[in-house]
Amino acid sequence: MQGEELDTPSMGGVLDTEFDLTRGSKKELAAAVDAMLESCQESIVDGGAISFPSRSEVAELLEDLRNLIYPGFFGERDSDPGDFADYVRDKTLQVFNKLSVQVSLSVRHGCIESGELCNQCRKLGQAQATRFLQKIPALRKVLMGDVKAAFDRDPAARSLEEIVLSYPGVLAVTIYRLSHELWLQEVPFIPRMMTEYAHSITSIDIHPGATIGSNFFIDHGTGVVIGETTEIGDNVTLYQGVTLGGYGFRRAPDGSLERGYKRHPTIQDGVIIYAGATILGGDTVVGAGSVVGGSVWLTHSVPPKAVVMIKEPDLKYKVGY
Amino acid sequence: MQGEELDTPSMGGVLDTEFDLTRGSKKELAAAVDAMLESCQESIVDGGAISFPSRSEVAELLEDLRNLIYPGFFGERDSDPGDFADYVRDKTLQVFNKLSVQVSLSVRHGCIESGELCNQCRKLGQAQATRFLQKIPALRKVLMGDVKAAFDRDPAARSLEEIVLSYPGVLAVTIYRLSHELWLQEVPFIPRMMTEYAHSITSIDIHPGATIGSNFFIDHGTGVVIGETTEIGDNVTLYQGVTLGGYGFRRAPDGSLERGYKRHPTIQDGVIIYAGATILGGDTVVGAGSVVGGSVWLTHSVPPKAVVMIKEPDLKYKVGY
Amino acid sequence: MQGEELDTPSMGGVLDTEFDLTRGSKKELAAAVDAMLESCQESIVDGGAISFPSRSEVAELLEDLRNLIYPGFFGERDSDPGDFADYVRDKTLQVFNKLSVQVSLSVRHGCIESGELCNQCRKLGQAQATRFLQKIPALRKVLMGDVKAAFDRDPAARSLEEIVLSYPGVLAVTIYRLSHELWLQEVPFIPRMMTEYAHSITSIDIHPGATIGSNFFIDHGTGVVIGETTEIGDNVTLYQGVTLGGYGFRRAPDGSLERGYKRHPTIQDGVIIYAGATILGGDTVVGAGSVVGGSVWLTHSVPPKAVVMIKEPDLKYKVGY
């Protein structure tokens, strides 16, 4: 592009024309645009033009799914039973359409380079979306158990409705449970995009690959990290700042990271883990019914029905400064 | 719904028609929709069609309120004094309208089941909204004290304007102070929805029931948790990751949780609490003018004018690996 | 404003007219509006009508910049090479326009009080925007190094694409690197608004004034705080909850805070800092190649190639409750 081209109509439409650039400024800007154009020939990924699922579409899909899981709580609602049936039907088909397109984009067959999804990709997207929808009714039952667990375990909760409307832990777990099903279906990208969307609005970071049992409750939740290969039983409670993480890395002889092996702990049924506790390592098991106190740092296993607390650390006092 | 019905126009309008589903896929999808419909007959709450305040409306309301509290800082602005008066008047009436509708929805009288708000609910919403608006001028003065406190206590702050434009602590405290007034008016759901909105964009989790004095400053703020029955005096400063939380639960003889009693600490005037400190329990009082160091873990009271620090923990060193 | 004025058409347009306020309620509301009007005469800042950069415009600008830095990953994409060139050109000019307006607003010359930007402010905005655009191609190379560092250091990562699409650490560092260039150009307000936007969606709080070398990776990231005068070398890795913060304040003889001096630590090349570690103070240096373990609390320097871990704290166990 030459500086002169900035005067062409198409440029004028984009440039803010209320104030004129000097001739020198125009040349400088034109050179900057050229440099950008050259730079953008190089991409973070190989292979030229590419296509990916859209973050905003994935976020909208999650809104639609929440409307189906908790009807009446998010946005649209209708009191007429016939209208309600229409609403559920339409919403379900919207989810089907959006999800099948996003799955097709995530697969990224060669067809994408031609700018259009091929029939094979579209079929795969639709099959995955149908399979996913089939699981939602069962998921709804599990999520109702999570909501009730929140009410039973938080003395600040006034009602089940308050929990659905405002608890970030329930929101993060709802999105995790949806994403985990897509993870099991081996859909690329989208499961992680879903849990990172949840992370961005709740500060709770659950990897879609983690396995989590029923009646799960995270209170407050800011800073919680649950790694990819974590296994959590039924009736478990976590508070803010709990890390269930990896400990040390395995490397292949060539120095590259090993991936996929179990690196994160196992938390058995009925465990309670208080704020800021850190539990690390793929061999670490917290036995059923145990309680891990706030700020505990654990890299080894704990037997069932144990209570593990930090020894209250020595403090230095100075009074009457 | 039968598989054939997918061919009806209303379905076609929703279904992505660029690519045809096979006959088998259609049947499968139709069955999934039917299962969803059956599932959605069961709700997390009893009583059929229900209505709640809307998260997006509550978020918009908070945007409008910020425009009134800090005029010129968020979005609309106008330099003509007459236009400015019109702006404030219109914005105030918009807040009145939106808030009165949301309060009506939060009350959820029986009338909601008929699909329309009754006059009694509407009147209640309007009375609550007016009562709330009457408090804003006094709140504005308190909030200016909070902004000035941020400037006086953060060496990275360049100006009051920078603080209003970009400090998450000031944003979270602004929303908390608004929500607390609605909490005192006993409006259901909305106060907690407001502070959870703040939580989602600042990672600062303040329960609307907490009591907080003037000139309050939270720096950075990620991970701060302030529980429902916390009491905080004037001129208090908190850093990121501070928890003012509960410690142990009380249960009724039937095993259910007790709710509402004082479970969270009292922080007196002029206290500074550094990053990552955890202070727990309803009987814990941090005396006026005291300093609680980073990472301190406290479940007992501290006298006034005390400095409490962790004994620097022993570290294991290995040099020259 | 008098109560009667509520009946004027302009009010009717704003007021929800489906339900009539009683005469008494109207008076009360009118008085509340008047009080708000009086209150809004007083602003947090001196000088009457003012103008600032817009948070939503800054957020949109960052979206556009991400589209240029990682073309195809966020929203728009196009497979035709000619269309792609048009796309990059248009997007670059959009960024130029938006940024030059926001910079003009951030400068806030006296001209703003007249309600219009003067030519001097507009020229300054355009010059700053051009200067910024000139740096993007070099920044893109640095950011590709950051993305590759994430892949090399996280065993849960499946591909470079997954990292760009979903890793909050990469998002926060992308926005930090952009904001830091504007910080170096001494643009007011906007750099901090950018990093606080990143903070709000990632819970990672990096001050735009910090200096950070190449191949930088933050994993998970919730709760990370990197202060204004922090210096970080090349090939550094941080995990969630790491604080690189200040320690103690300097005050001028008049009691006011000193600002601007080095208050935050120096982290040399190749350092790894695990979750929840806190490193404080402007004289604290972590030597090249050192490893700081999880939850370590450091206010003094560490030599190169050292490993510093907490002594695993004593725990209190009770088994078989």
The residue that leads in pLDDT, B107 or A147, is A147
Closest-CA distance, A139 to chain C, in angstroms, reads 24
* pLDDT for the residue numbered B79: 55
A62 pLDDT tier (thresholds 50, 70, 90): very high
Among A59-68, A97-106, B71-80, C90-99, the least confident range: B71-80
A6 pLDDT tier (thresholds 50, 70, 90): very low
Quote the tokens at residue B311. Answer: 């004994």
Q: What is the enclosing helix (H) or strand (E) of C316?
A: strand C315-319
Q: Which residue of C has its CA nearest to A204?
A: C222
Closest-CA distance, C20 to chain A, in angstroms, reads 25
Angle, helix A23-40 to helix C119-153, in steps of 10 degrees: 10
Contact B79 C114 (CB under 8 A): yes
Provide the β-strand partners of residue B309: A316
Contact A89 B33 (CB under 8 A): yes
Contact A115 C313 (CB under 8 A): no
Backbone angles phi, psi at C307, to 5 degrees: -115, 120
d(CA C245, CA C265): 7
* pLDDT for the residue numbered B51: 73
Closest-CA distance, C91 to chain B, in angstroms, reads 23
Model ipTM over 0.85? yes
The residue that leads in pLDDT, C293 or B260, is C293
Other Cβ atoms within 10 Å of C259 Cβ, number: 15
Q: Please give chain B's pLDDT, 321 residues, in tens.
A: 333 333 333 343 344 444 567 777 889 999 999 999 999 888 776 544 467 889 999 999 999 999 899 987 865 555 566 678 888 999 999 999 999 999 998 887 656 556 667 888 889 999 999 999 999 999 999 999 999 999 999 999 999 999 999 999 999 999 999 999 999 999 999 999 999 999 999 999 999 999 999 999 999 999 999 999 999 999 999 999 999 999 888 888 888 888 889 999 999 999 999 999 999 999 999 999 999 999 999 999 999 999 999 887 778 888 876
d(CA A69, CA B256): 27
d(CA C269, CA C290): 9
Closest of C315, C313, C281, C268 to residue C294, by C-alpha: C313
Contact B167 C259 (CB under 8 A): no
* pLDDT for the residue numbered A277: 95
Residue B178 C-alpha from the chain's centroid: 10
Task: Name residue, tokens 């309208």.
Answer: B97
DSSP state of C114: G
A with B: how many residue pairs have Cβ under 8 Å apart? 208
Mark out the alpha helices in chain C (DSSP H runs): 9-14, 23-39, 55-69, 81-107, 119-153, 160-166, 168-184, 190-202
3-state secondary structure B189-213: CHHHHHHHHHHHHHCCEECCCCEEC
Residue B161 C-alpha from the chain's centroid: 23
Quote the tokens at residue B242. Answer: 């501070």
A50 pLDDT tier (thresholds 50, 70, 90): low
Nearest CB to C311; choose among B93, B310, B313: B313
Closest of B131, B128, B107 to residue B117, by C-alpha: B107
Contact A100 B243 (CB under 8 A): no
Residue-wise DSSP of C76-100: ----SHHHHHHHHHHHHHHHHHHHH
d(CA A308, CA A7): 72
Q: Which residue of B has its CA nearest to C250?
A: B155
Cβ atoms of C289 and C302 within 8 Å: the answer is no
d(CA C13, CA A95): 37
Nearest CB to C70; choose among A31, A44, A260: A44
* Angle, CA C112 vertex, CA C111 and CA C115 arms, to 5°: 105
Please, which residues have CB within 8 angstroms of residue A138's CB and are 6 or more apart in sequence? none
Nearest CB to C49; choose among B72, B318, B320: B72
Nearest CB to C134; choose among A32, A112, A305: A32
Q: Which of A34-48, A128-142, C105-119 has the highest mean pLDDT?
A: A128-142
* pLDDT for the residue numbered B224: 98
Cβ atoms of C288 and C271 within 8 Å: the answer is yes
Closest-CA distance, C311 to chain A, in angstroms, reads 10
* pLDDT for the residue numbered B105: 87
Other Cβ atoms within 10 Å of A163 Cβ, number: 23
A105 pLDDT tier (thresholds 50, 70, 90): confident
Other Cβ atoms within 10 Å of A9 Cβ, number: 6
Q: Which residue of C has its CA nearest to A209?
A: C156
Task: Name residue, tokens 């703040």.
Answer: B198
Contact B320 C306 (CB under 8 A): yes
Q: With 60 as the cut, is the pLDDT of residue C9 above it?
A: no
Residue in A64, A67, A70, A73 to test binding to B, most B beta-carbons within 10 Å: A73
What average pLDDT score do residues C75-84 get?
Answer: 63
DSSP state of C18: T
Residue C37, classed as helix, strand or coil, is: helix
A4 pLDDT tier (thresholds 50, 70, 90): very low
Contact B137 C55 (CB under 8 A): no
Provide the β-strand partners of residue C206: C226
Which partners does chain B have (≥3 C-beta pairs < 8 Å)? A, C
Q: What is the pLDDT of residues A248-304, one digit of tens each?
A: 788 888 888 888 899 999 999 999 999 999 999 999 999 999 999 999 999 999 999
Please, which residues have CB within 8 angstroms of residue C120's CB and are 6 or more apart in sequence? C109, C111
- Torsion B228-B230-B231-B235 (CA) sign: negative
Residue in A2, A27, A37, A40 to test binding to C, most C beta-carbons within 10 Å: A40
**Considering the entire predicted model, what is its pTM?**
0.92
Residue A308 C-alpha from the chain's centroid: 30
Quote the tokens at residue B30. Answer: 């139709």
- Give percent of chain A with pLDDT exceeding 90: 65
Q: What is the pLDDT of residues C161-195, one digit of tens each?
A: 999 999 999 999 999 999 999 999 999 999 999 99
Backbone angles phi, psi at B107, to 5 degrees: -75, -40
Please, which residues have CB within 8 angstroms of residue C50's CB and are 6 or more apart in sequence? B72, B77, C43, C108, C112, C113
Mean pLDDT of chain C: 87
Closest-CA distance, B11 to chain C, in angstroms, reads 28
Q: Using a CB cutoff of 8 Å and minimum separation of 24, what contacts does B307-310 make?
A: B307/A316, B307/A317, B307/A318, B307/A319, B307/A321, B308/A315, B308/A316, B308/A317, B309/A315, B309/A316, B310/A313, B310/A314, B310/A315, B310/A316, B310/C297
Contact A308 C314 (CB under 8 A): no
Q: With 80 as the cut, is the pLDDT of residue A80 above it?
A: no
Please, which residues have CB within 8 angstroms of residue C212's CB and are 6 or more apart in sequence? C173, C176, C177, C180, C206, C226, C230, C232, C236
Quote the tokens at residue A305. Answer: 């029905």
Contact A152 B36 (CB under 8 A): no
Please, which residues have CB within 8 angstroms of residue A131's CB and are 6 or more apart in sequence? A185
Quote the tokens at residue B187. Answer: 């409006």
Chain B partners of C263 at a C-beta cutoff of 8 Å?
Answer: 155
Closest-CA distance, A205 to chain B, in angstroms, reads 13
* pLDDT for the residue numbered B87: 87
Contact C317 A308 (CB under 8 A): yes
Contact A164 B44 (CB under 8 A): yes
Q: Which residue of A has its CA nearest to B295?
A: A295
Residue in C2, C7, C16, C112 to test binding to B, most B beta-carbons within 10 Å: C16
Task: Name residue, tokens 């946005």.
Answer: A75
What average pLDDT score do residues C219-243 get?
Answer: 97
Q: What is the pLDDT of residues A289-314, one digit of tens each?
A: 999 999 999 999 999 999 999 887 77
Nearest CB to B25; choose among A92, A126, A164: A126
Q: What is the pLDDT of residues A148-177, one digit of tens each?
A: 999 999 999 999 999 999 999 999 999 999
Q: Which residue of C has its CA nearest to B139?
A: C39
Nearest CB to C29; choose among B130, B154, B241: B130
Nearest CB to A295; choose among B19, B53, B297: B297
CA neighbours closer than 13 Å in the CB half-sphere of residue A313 = 24
Nearest CB to A114; choose among C68, C71, C79: C79
Quote the tokens at residue C183. Answer: 């910080």
Which partners does chain C have (≥3 C-beta pairs < 8 Å)? A, B
Chain C partners of A249 at a C-beta cutoff of 8 Å?
Answer: 155
Contact A29 C96 (CB under 8 A): yes
* Angle, CA A71 vertex, CA A68 and CA A75 arms, to 5°: 100
